[in-house]
Amino acid sequence: MQEKITPISELGEFALIDLLTKNNNQRNVASLKLTGDDASQLAISEGEHTLISTDMMVHGVHFDLGYFPPQHLGYKAIVSAISDIYAMNGQPKQVLLSIAASSKISVEFLELMYEGVYAACNDYNVDLAGGDTTTVHRGLILNITAIGTAKPERVVYRSGAQENDLICVSGDLGAAYLGLQLLEREKQVFHQNPEVQPELNEDYEYLYQRFLRPDTRNDIVKKLAETGVLPTAMIDISDGLSSDVLHITKQSNVGCRIYENKLPIHHNTTAAAEDFNLSPITCALNGGEDYELLFTVSPSHFEAVNKMAEVSIIGHITPKDTGCKMITNAENEFDLVAQGWEPFGSERG
């Protein structure tokens, strides 16, 4: 009898990772944290631990060369990688960038992309420490490894959230997703009539920037340290708030309550969502690629966190048996569902 062949789309990204890493056993004392968080943690030196994370960006999956400026692509590649180091409450120090480019990618394009790489390295004080280059039949693939450090007692995992902890998020949510929708719309218009030039509404410039050239929240990590606040759990929002808060609750073995009226949403995000007949709340929950920090803190830190201009308290941690819920403005409860970014979704073939 033929063995069952299981398509990746049947599992999804995170179930696939769980399956492939279930037999990954620690072999070295210095390997304190292997898989399952934003970065691995290595005790290479006594005073500071090393944090390492890897991200991959693939043309046609994570970016579209039809509208992605090469400088922005290089910048975003670095930001997406070092954001994982900040999510562990660390400081990025070096990045490694490997590229696989088809013969259709020009030298000039890569030079401009590296201008963006160096701009991000300069802005976040990290060094490009190497990488590799090879060819691929089609498109462009970027693989970025970020290396950082943190004092052992300051490293934050996804698994430390406790009952009654406050759930906090930096910045605003959903803008990157709407920026992508706007760019995709203009792309479709161009394909239908190449004579028509894109009309990029200046009112939506913030949304384009949030998708094409995002920033990561090193300032929040700094503020938390300055005020003496050590999060109990933390993750960066790359897959969408709903997916990422469920990563924390799953690994911390807890439940949560998120409040609709507490979600930070930029007014341009609301306007663009209405333009697409979308709910701004849905965009905030499921959009992804915001690269904001989602973290939990003890209730004793309420005053300190509440004073941070760029931080919103959006809910609290509950016992596991209460589930993970969204409380609407009408005080109705709905289950939080991980509907954010899913690279192995069946619709992607």
Which tens digit of pLDDT belongs to each residue from 102-111?
988 898 999 9
Average pLDDT over residues 105-118: 92
Burial 189-224 (b: 16+ CB within 10 A, else e): eeeeeeeeeeeeeeebebbbebbbbbbbbbebbebb
Q: Which CATH number describes the domain made up of 166-348?
A: 3.90.650.10
Give the per-residue pLDDT at 349. 32
Query: CA-CA distance, 118 to 128, in Å (whole number)?
Result: 8
Query: CA-CA distance, 187 to 296, in Å (whole number)?
Result: 39
Average pLDDT over residues 13-34: 62
Q: Which two tokens stand for residue 206?
A: 């913030």
- Per DSSP, the three-state class of 234 is strand
Spell out where 156-291 has E strands: 166-170, 233-236, 255-259
Residue 95, strand partner residues: 128, 146
Show the 3-state SS of 117-143.
HHHHHHHHCCEECCCCEEECCCCEEEE
Query: CA-CA distance, 204 to 230, in Å (whole number)?
Result: 35
Residue ranges of the chain assigned to CATH 3.30.1330.10: 8-154
Residue ranges of the chain assigned to CATH 3.90.650.10: 166-348
Instruction: Give the residue with greater pLDDT, 304 vs 201.
Output: 304
* pLDDT over 90 (residue 340): no
Average pLDDT over residues 89-93: 94
Show the 3-state SS of 274-338.
HHCCCCHHHHHHHCCCCCCEEEEECHHHHHHHHCCCCEEEEEEEECHHHCEEEECCCCCEEECCC
Give the per-residue pLDDT at 190. 65
The confidence band for 346, taking pLDDT boundaries of 50, 70 and 90, is very low
Q: Which two tokens stand for residue 188?
A: 């479709």
- pLDDT tens-digit profile of 245-274? 999 999 999 999 999 999 999 999 999 999
Query: CA-CA distance, 287 to 272, in Å (whole number)?
Result: 13
Q: 């050590």: which residue's tokens?
A: 230
Measured N-to-C along each axis, helices 70-86 and 107-124 cross at an angle, to the nearest 10 degrees, of 40
Give the per-residue pLDDT at 23. 67
- Sheet containing strand 293-297, edge to edge, reads 233-236, 293-297, 166-170, 311-318, 255-259, 324-327, 333-335
Q: How many other C-beta atoms are found inside a 10 Å radius of the C-beta of residue 123?
A: 14
- pLDDT tens-digit profile of 149-178? 999 999 999 999 999 999 999 999 999 999
Task: Say what percent of the chain tops pLDDT 70.
Answer: 81
The confidence band for 124, taking pLDDT boundaries of 50, 70 and 90, is very high
Instruction: Give the residue with greater pLDDT, 235 vs 47.
Output: 235
Give the per-residue pLDDT at 339. 72
CATH topology of domain 8-154: 60s Ribosomal Protein L30; Chain: A; (3.30.1330)
Could you tell me the pTM of the whole model? 0.84
Looking at residue 104, the DSSP 8-state letter turns out to be T
Judge whether 83 and 238 are in contact, CB under 8 Å. Answer: yes
Query: CA-CA distance, 167 to 256, in Å (whole number)?
Result: 8
Phi and psi at residue 97, to the nearest 5°: -120, 115
Q: How many other C-beta atoms are found inside a 10 Å radius of the C-beta of residue 128?
A: 16
Query: Lowest-confidence range among 182-196, 229-243, 262-276?
Result: 182-196
User: Strands 233-236, 324-327: parallel, antiparallel or unpaired by DSSP?
Assistant: unpaired
* pLDDT over 70 (residue 32): no
